[in-house]
Structure 1
Amino acid sequence: MTNPLRPSRVALITGASTGLGETIAEFLGGVGWRLVLTARTESDLTAVAERLSGRGVIVRAVAGDVGEAAHRARLIAEASSLGRLDWLVNNASQMGVSPIRPLLDHPVDVFEKVLRTNVIAPVALAQLALPLLRETDGLVVNVSSEAAVDVFPCAGIYGASKAALDQASRIIAAELADTGVGVTSVDPGGMRTRGYAEAEPDFDLSSVPTPDVTLPFWKWLAEVSSGEVSGRRYLAQSGPWDTK
């Protein structure tokens, strides 16, 4: 139960209209967090926000592209209007061309768009969010991928961008070591999502778990301090998640 004398925590979640982002929003809203949600598809985002609002969750839903500076600024303003920010969850991402194809067959402008969404936007949001996160000893959660460390042919742009995000996460965590703000990377593992289906339409996803499989991890992460997890990379489907 939320302590009436202590404002409930606030999370800003990108890519929150479907898949993993929606799952995280459902979980945090269910345990009393207030939410700022964003995604590019307004209809999907509105559906999620209305469902959560109907359960009594305080939700600010702002459709838009995190690759755009004005949209990022608005998201931080929405979080500020709620009085605090505890988690910045950088979940929004782009695969590249779907169905996926070899790295050298991708148009350069697609590569640039993927990097802008998957690397530049998370770092830029963290820059803007830092003053709020300092006030709460908050946490930046950068959603990575198994493609960041393993070689998957035709997933080169996506994998390269997630590897870059992992390294950026480690560097920023080291740079913020004495501030109380933490930065962690989370590899959610293979999941049955809309993006996966679009990227590999001929692949049978029936045996691939849904994003709900990661819920034990999010419950654990919400109960530890930012300092305990900062600089680490976690596999959400492979617990226990020891902080020692």
Structure 2
Amino acid sequence: MSFDNKVVIVTGGSAGIGAAISKLFAKEGANVVIVGRNEAKLEAITKKCAQVGKKPLTVKADITKDEDVKQIIEKTVQKFGQIDVLINNAGILGTACKIMDKNLVAAYDEVFNTNLRPVFLLTNLAAPYLAKTKGNVVNISSIGGIRGTPAYSAYAASKAAMTHFGTVAAFELAVEGVRVNTVSPGPVETEIFANNKDLNIELLKSRTAQNRISAPEEIAEVVAFIASDKAGSVTGSNYVIDCGSLVKK
């Protein structure tokens, strides 16, 4: 899969799944735009990408702020003049919160303002440029949007909404020659789970049919395929990568 001179935006691209995606696209020849909030992490992934491909453009941005989101598109177009792939990867698990907890709505606001609202805005702003290049969007959702996790209802609802948004966007943008697809990972070995005592990695492994969890690089490979010309007939699809989590009884 070659992405020579293609311009690829990756939100949440400085760590975890996003970092693996950024590095793989750089290796495949893309001009990668890495969006993140942590300068140290942005610098670290920039060095890794430059070792295997072109030095990426980094954009320090808080995607919960509309002005920051607009800057992502503006800086990308200013630098490269086009957008070929938008990967909406940034997201948070949020604070564990049960339905009867008093802070449920606060948890909802926090998660939806990070996981969903920026996806709407970024897709809206990038769509005219994607129409010019006949590009595509890949949304990183979760199996949590298919089978919710207790105490994380806001996260599950945000991912279900993201997946459904992708389906609608795929239908609407098909006429423009733009494809939209979703990738729904199960547990992945990232710091989100490594730092969560309620969802530790060994527990997550036991909940999968393969008794393992995915590496970020495995998710990146699927994303690259979907975004490539090899998947030219694929739109409105949701690829589940979960080591058999959904099939385990």
- Using the size of structure 1 for normalisation, the TM-score is 0.87
Does structure 1 residue 88 correspond to structure 2 residue 86?
Answer: yes
Q: How does 1:21-170 map to 2 (within 5 A)?
A: 21-80=18-77, 81-97=79-95, 100-105=96-101, 106-170=103-167
Does structure 1 residue 184 correspond to structure 2 residue 181?
Answer: yes
Query: C-alpha distance in 2, partners of 1:165/1:225?
Result: 24
Query: C-alpha distance in 2, partners of 1:56/1:225?
Result: 21
How many residue pairs end up in the alignment? 233
- Corresponding residue number in structure 1 for 2:234: 229
- Helix, strand or coil for the counterpart of 2:167? helix
Query: C-alpha distance in 1, partners of 2:151/2:33?
Result: 33
Structural RMSD (CA): 2.3
Whether the aligned pair in 2 keeps the contact of 1:182 and 1:226 (CA below 8 Å) is: no
Query: Structure 1 pair 112/101, CA: closer, same or farther in 2 (3 Å)?
Result: closer
Query: C-alpha distance in 1, partners of 2:197/2:136?
Result: 33
Whether the aligned pair in 1 keeps the contact of 2:115 and 2:159 (CA below 8 Å) is: yes
Deviates more, 1:106-115 or 1:215-224: 215-224
Whether the aligned pair in 2 keeps the contact of 1:2 and 1:8 (CA below 8 Å) is: no
Whether the aligned pair in 2 keeps the contact of 1:139 and 1:226 (CA below 8 Å) is: no
Whether the aligned pair in 1 keeps the contact of 2:136 and 2:227 (CA below 8 Å) is: no
Q: Structure 1: 5+ residue runs without aligned partners? A: 239-244
Q: How does 1:200-239 map to 2 (within 5 A)?
A: 200-201=197-198, 203-205=200-202, 207-224=212-229, 228-236=233-241
- Helix, strand or coil for the counterpart of 2:60? coil
- Helix, strand or coil for the counterpart of 1:178? helix
Deviates more, 1:46-55 or 1:75-84: 46-55
- Corresponding residue number in structure 2 for 1:241: none
- Helix, strand or coil for the counterpart of 2:23? helix
Deviation at 1:104, TM superposition (A): 3.7
- Helix, strand or coil for the counterpart of 2:195? helix
Deviates more, 1:121-130 or 1:181-190: 181-190
Match of 2:169 among 169, 172, 176: 172
Query: C-alpha distance in 1, partners of 2:177/2:133?
Result: 8
Whether the aligned pair in 1 keeps the contact of 2:188 and 2:214 (CA below 8 Å) is: yes
| Per-residue Cα deviation, 1:11-38 (whole angstroms, up to 9, x for no partner) | 0000111110001011100010011111
Q: Structure 2: 5+ residue runs without aligned partners? A: 206-211, 244-249
- Corresponding residue number in structure 1 for 2:209: none
Query: Structure 1 pair 103/200, CA: closer, same or farther in 2 (3 Å)?
Result: farther
Query: Structure 1 pair 103/18, CA: closer, same or farther in 2 (3 Å)?
Result: farther
% identical aligned pairs: 29
Whether the aligned pair in 1 keeps the contact of 2:186 and 2:213 (CA below 8 Å) is: no
- Corresponding residue number in structure 2 for 1:18: 15
| Per-residue Cα deviation, 1:206-236 (whole angstroms, up to 9, x for no partner) | 7433212224423422433675222111124
